[in-house]
Structure 1
Amino acid sequence: MRIRSHRPVLHSPCTTLAPFVADHEALGRLRPAFVRALAREFDLGALAGRLCPVLLEGSYAALFALADYVHGDQADELERLMRKRGYRLAAPARYVLPSPLLLAVAREAAGAPGLHAADHPAQRRTALQALFFDMVRWGVRHGASDLHLHADRRAATAQVRYTVGGAYVAAPCFNGLSHACLLEILAVAWMDVRAGNGAVFDPRAEQQGRIALQVDEVPVVLRWASLATDHGPSVCLRILRQDPPQGGASLAELGYLPAQAATLERACQRAGGAVVLAGTVGAGKSTTIATMLRGLPAERKLVTLEDPAEYAIANALQNSVSRSLEGEAGAPFDAKLLTIKRSAMHDLYLGEVRDRQTGRVFTDLAGSGVSLYTTTHAGSALLIPERLASDFIGVSRDFLATPGVLKLLVYQTLLPRLCPACALPLAMLWHRGAGRSHAQRLAWRCWAARLRRAGVALAQARVRNPAGCAACAGAGLPALRGYAGRTVVAELLEPETDAVLLDLIRRRDNPALRRLLGRRARRQPPDAPLRAVDCAWRKVEAGVVDPRLVERCFALPPALRTPVGAEDGHG
């Protein structure tokens, strides 16, 4: 009888009554002692690697399971089948194991007495697929943007890490995975890759591709990028949720200030010119662009040209362009461009400008009269023209300085958003009960005074509570306690009709550009900051961002830097 798999009832090792077996050593101490796995006697299907019936000493049987599966209809049904086969259930009859250990048991690789070295490739493949899926599901449930899988031979075991809220964190439930097992997982996962370079996973080569799957009824696309490092392969999987809320319901919800959101929306309404959004890797550029594009009027025809498409945009005709890692000539774009320019569209999204191929496409489209939206990697709005005109991309400076070509330049980064339920008053930094020395408290108080003299209003400013609370500590990751997601910090420039700005871009006078921006920033009203750092301080004033975090993203004058030796307390 096949045991059906469906969404499990959620439990954790801390809340379930089933004992937790943490590692091989704990497995060896189990009484009655573990003898062998019984998985081959039952048709577990997709549950392989999540539930595993086992034989214990004295002819007793028990059920090893992941925490999410230890209770529920599947576990109950498996126990019933075990009794039907004549097995006596031990007391307790169920145990919770971490994924790597359960997989080792299911594959009869735990090294316990009585194990037999039989080869069952179909069952092994199913268990490996289940473990890979559980890794992805953990990331989706905890809001991770990336899943990182490292088979670094310098470490005792493989590493499974995630990017959650901008932090690079480990999920304890996947600790202890062997390098050999991770390589097998990657080989099995690669079988589901589409548009990949290579028929099989090659740990000695760079590879890329996409995997589409459903996680908790949510469509998810994984963008695969593997790096062949000196010490073993490292795979980064960007987790792209395809359900509509992923793009953000509005620019305001992403963190754009009202005046900034209004500027973006005006730019989207005007025909012609390019809106270029810049930021570093993981700064949320694609999410912001998707939000902007979803807000375009229905009477506008929107076409995208992406490498590859990331988020589903319902009102767009999306086109994915597959390019090899060798970077041959721009043939992948040519056929699409010839047709797209004859498709009578109003708006076009070019996924990213990052090399001469996409630079050529940008030049072609930005001068064609359509409204163009794109992204690039740059450290500020001022550096966007410099990036586009670089030797690596090759867009002409004269072209960029032509009025009407660059409609709006946007730079954004993400800062952790304080948990509104437990954030602490700024004065806690120098409070006597905070466990700091007199010198540390004085240093923080003087730092706050300098911020006030610089014009930062601190009446509502708050700092992170590193202990967290019920609202923010659910993931069990210390690095995220006290935070509730991230918020956009941005700066916007409108060079479209700014003759002074365009002339400086043409002459590549970056120092003069910076001085010009500084003068204009001082004249800006507080609710419409011109520079991203000023936007960050506005969020500090509103109690949204910890003031100690501003220094992480921006070069501050010495007087505004956090005091050395007074502890950071926010990492």
Structure 2
Amino acid sequence: MEIINERQDLGYVHVAQQMLEPCLVFFQQWNNPEVVAVVLEDGRLLASPGAWRKHFVELQQIAFAARNVCPVKLFCEGPAAMIREILTDADGQRRALEIQSGVTQYGENLAKQTLSDIVSEALAVDATDIHLRMCGQDARISFRIDGLLCWQGNRSRIFVTEVVAAALNTQSDDCSDVFDERKISSASITLTLPEPYGEVRIRAQKSPCRDGFTVTLRLQKSAQLEVPALAALGFGNETVKQLQMLMQQSIGLILISGPTGHGKTTTLAAMNRLVPATRKVISLEDPIEIVQPAIEQKFVPNTAEHNAFSEMLKVVLREDPDLVEVSEIRDLETATSAVSAALTGHLVASTIHANDAMGIIPRLLDIGLTAVQLSQPDLLAGLIAQRLLPRLCQHCREIDMRLDDGAVWRRNSNGCEHCLHRGVSGRVVISEVLIPGNEACRFIRDQDFHGWREHLRERGWRSLASEAESLVRQGLVSLQDACEVVPNMRIQAFGVSAIKEENYADSI
């Protein structure tokens, strides 16, 4: 018996179309994802170890059934996931032809199993997101690994569309709409995968585009149900002390900024571990991403009501909270309610999309708040910004340039076995914490952000760019990655890594 471990080892060969239906029936009848088989056009019967071990007689029957259409010449064994992928791709191609001729059918069980396979593949390489782009006859699949988008291959658009439809229509926790690829929709999905993954929560976002539609799946492993400590996330001792001091405040507004996928929600959950058990914490979320048993998490549904968060914020203020959290400030109504709560004796924490800590203020002004509102004393307890930078693989990194006091390193384009040939392995966090004092109120009121930045620099404040430069000089991240991810970081003359703080007044 021939052992085949990789799909590429099969060569350019197709599934025998006359035997596709019997192979699908064989897979579905056992209700076991590890029992699967397929007959290839070159006469090979490829089956999983579980199929050969438990259902040898039935496999012989498949070989006998193929004698007149595609005689089986060789028995082969391969991984169940690989065979399922071959089977689903062939089924998708067949279904595409059936749709063109007006005849189609729906394989829900196989679609559900395919979603589990794709998610398992993503988790195996520590991906945080799965990106599906449907265009033409293909579905382009990419994984977000260590902050980088990595193409994984193309599958049948017809079948992957059925996978998405089956997930949203039958496995979603909060999606009530019938699947329509022309509409924008979002949903939460819970999957139970084989060990070592267990239960996985997925946040799905779907939207149409010019030549099809896209789906982004944010993955959250069950391990994230255990809220991490700030030190375990990579924050330094000084930063942990600053964040601990913020969470001990009784009033004010704490805001964490950063792009999507850079750990804002995880950081806020870790900060909650610093809150003593004697304080009541209520968190308003859409969706609930990290389960935190010690706090009251309330799901605020994504409804047509534009002010759902602001209205719910008013409700929870009557429930005697010490700390109120909002998953994200997205609009003027929510921002106004958060400011009002912070000015009426509550500590409020939330996340927001902004360039950096100081950029939170221009972002709030852009939403619709006024400089007078934001400059009120004791309103802003703390402004935080963070980024996750790809960590260079220490086994294959290459010297980019030499400096008098060391060297600047870059990614190895070919990588090595330690980093799965990506050149990076994991990510490292950098952050900046800004605690506005009385002087900050004047700068905010006058919208003098350049002056505020100069004032902070004179007092030794470390920005995101300063933190990134330190990591570049330590050889932990590449200069190119730092410049792509970190705001206000540029290269000075002679190719030496340096930091330049941009004039915020130019961008407002």
Question: What range is the shorter-chain TM-score in?
Answer: 0.7 to 0.9
Q: 1:379-528 counterparts in 2 under 5 A?
A: 379-390=355-366, 392=367, 394-424=368-398, 428-429=399-400, 444-445=401-402, 448-449=403-404, 458=406, 462-473=409-420, 478=421, 480-481=422-423, 483-495=424-436, 498-520=437-459, 524=460
CA distance in 2, matches of 1:507, 1:57: 74
Give the Cα separation in 2 of the matches to 1:531 and 1:561: 23
Question: Partner letter of residue 129 of structure 1?
Answer: K
* Alpha-carbon distance between aligned partners in 1 of 2:126 and 2:446, rounded to the nearest angstrom: 44
Is the Cα contact below 8 Å between 2:282 and 2:296 reproduced in 1? yes
Q: CA deviation at 1:511?
A: 2.4
Name the residue aligned to 2:478.
Answer: 546
Q: Which amino acid aligns with 1:145?
A: T
Q: Which amino acid aligns with 1:378?
A: A
Counterpart of 1:555? 488
Q: Aligned with 1:486: secondary structure?
A: strand
Counterpart residue number, 1:102:
87
Partner of residue 13, structure 2: 27
2:134 is equivalent to residue 187 of structure 1: no
Higher fraction of strand? 2
Aligned residue identity for 1:44: Q
| 1:262 Cα offset (Å) | 1.3
Which one-letter code corresponds to 2:462 in the other structure? L
- Give the corresponding residue for 2:291: 312
Q: 1:210 is matched by which residue type in structure 2?
A: S
CA contact (8 A) 1:294 1:313 kept: no
Distance 1:245 1:189, change over 3 A: closer
2:184 maps to 1:206: yes
Task: State the distance in 1 between where 2:156 and 2:33 align.
Answer: 15
Specify the code of the residue in structure 1 equivalent to 2:330. R
Matched, 1:142 2:142: no
Distance across 1 between alignment mates of 2:360 and 2:374: 10
Distance 1:355 1:45, change over 3 A: farther
State the partner residue of 2:352.
376
CA distance in 2, matches of 1:312, 1:229: 33
Query: Residue 137 of structure 1: CA displacement?
Result: 1.8
SS at 1:210 equivalent: strand
Instruction: Return the offset for 1:278.
Output: 0.5
Of the three residues 290, 293, 298, the one matched with 2:277 is 298
Q: Matches of 2:124 and 2:317 in 1, distance apart?
A: 41
Contact 1:415/1:487 (<8 A) preserved: yes
How far, CA to CA, are the matches of 1:110 and 1:201 in structure 2? 18
- After TM superposition, the structure 1 stretch with the greater mean CA deviation from structure 2, 545-554 or 128-137, is 545-554
Q: Give the aligned residue type for 1:208.
A: S
Distance 1:144 1:53, change over 3 A: closer
2:232 to 253, 273, 282: 253
Secondary structure class of the residue paired with 1:291: helix
Residue aligned with 2:289, SS: coil
Secondary structure in 2 matching 1:408 = strand
* Counterpart pick for 2:110 among 124, 127, 140: 127
Map 1:227-266 → 2, pairs under 5 A: 227-244=207-224, 247=227, 249-266=228-245
Q: Secondary structure at the match of 1:411?
A: strand
How many Å apart are 1:86 and its aligned residue?
Answer: 8.5
Residue 418 of structure 2 aligns to a residue in which SS? coil
Moved over 6 A (4+): none
* Aligned-residue offset at 1:395: 2.9
User: Aligned pair in 2 of structure 1 residues 307, 56: CA closer, same or farther (>3 Å)?
Assistant: closer
Per-residue CA deviation, residues 87-132 of structure 1 (Å, 9 max, x unaligned), is: 49753333565655321445782999xxxx99664xx111111112
1:77 is matched with which residue: 54, 57, 61?
A: 54
Question: Alignment partner of 1:389: what SS?
Answer: helix
- 1:397 positional shift: 2.5
- Give yes or no for the alignment of 1:39 onto 2:41: no
State the alpha-carbon separation in 1 of the partners of residues 28 and 410 from structure 2.
49
RMSD, matched Cα: 3.4
Cα 1:259–1:233 shift into 2, 3 Å:
same
Match of 2:138 in 1: 157
For residues 322 and 250 of structure 1, what CA distance do their matches in structure 2 show? 29
Structure 1: gaps (5+ residues): 1-15, 65-69, 430-443, 450-456, 564-571
Tell me the CA shift for residue 560 of structure 1.
5.4
Aligned residues: 479
Q: Is the 8 A contact 1:63 1:79 kept in 2?
A: no
What CA distance in whole angstroms lies between the structure 1 residues aligned with 2:125 and 2:41? 39
Structure 2 counterpart of 1:6: none
SS of 1:133's partner is: helix
CA contact (8 A) 1:46 1:126 kept: no
- Displacement of 1:286 in angstroms is 0.9
Residue 160 of structure 1, CA deviation: 1.0
Cα distance change of structure 1 residues 487 and 291 upon mapping to structure 2, 3 Å threshold:
same
Partner Cα separation in structure 1 for residue 40 and residue 190 of structure 2: 40
Segments of structure 2 that go 5 or more residues without pairing to the other structure are 66-71, 497-508
Q: Please give the secondary structure, in 1, of the residue aligned with 2:452.
A: helix
Q: For 1:314, what is the secondary structure of its paired residue?
A: coil
Which residue in 2 is equivalent to 1:8? none
Q: In 2, distance between residues paired with 1:95 and 1:297?
A: 53
Match of 2:505 in 1: none
CA distance in structure 2 between the aligned counterparts of 1:341 and 1:45, rounded to whole angstroms: 54
Q: Distance in 2 between matches of 1:515 and 1:348?
A: 33
C-alpha deviation, 1:314, in angstroms: 2.1
Deviation (angstroms), 1:61: 7.8
Shift of 1:214: 2.0
CA shift digits 1:163-200 (9 cap, x unpaired): 1111111224xx3x2222222222222212232362x1
Q: Is the CA contact (8 Å cut-off) linking 1:48 and 1:127 kept in structure 2?
A: no
Percent identity over the alignment is: 24
- Provide the rounded CA distance (Å) in 2 between the counterparts of 1:163 and 1:531: 26
Shift of 1:56: 6.8
Aligned match of 1:169 in 137, 143, 150? 150
- Contact preservation (8 Å) 2:95, 2:158: no
Contact 1:104 1:110 in 2 (8 A): no
Question: In the alignment, does 2:201 pair up with 1:221?
Answer: yes
Answer whether contact 2:128 2:220 (CA < 8 A) is retained: yes
Give the whole-Å Cα distance in 2 for the aligned partners of 1:342 and 1:86. 70
Cα distance between partner residues in 1 of 2:41 and 2:261 = 51
Q: Alpha-carbon deviation of 1:133?
A: 1.7
**Structure 1 pair 331–378 and aligned structure 2 pair: CA distance change class (3 A):** closer
Instruction: Check the 8 A contact 1:206/1:228 in 2, yes or no.
Output: yes
TM-score (norm 2): 0.83
Contact kept, 8 Å, 1:241 with 1:311, in 2: the verdict is no
Contact 2:252 2:342 in 1 (8 A): yes
State which of 333, 336, 341 in structure 2 corresponds to 1:357: 333
CA–CA distance in structure 1, aligned partners of residues 92 and 455 of structure 2: 66
1:39/1:108 Cα in 2 relative to 1: closer, same or farther (>3 Å)?
farther
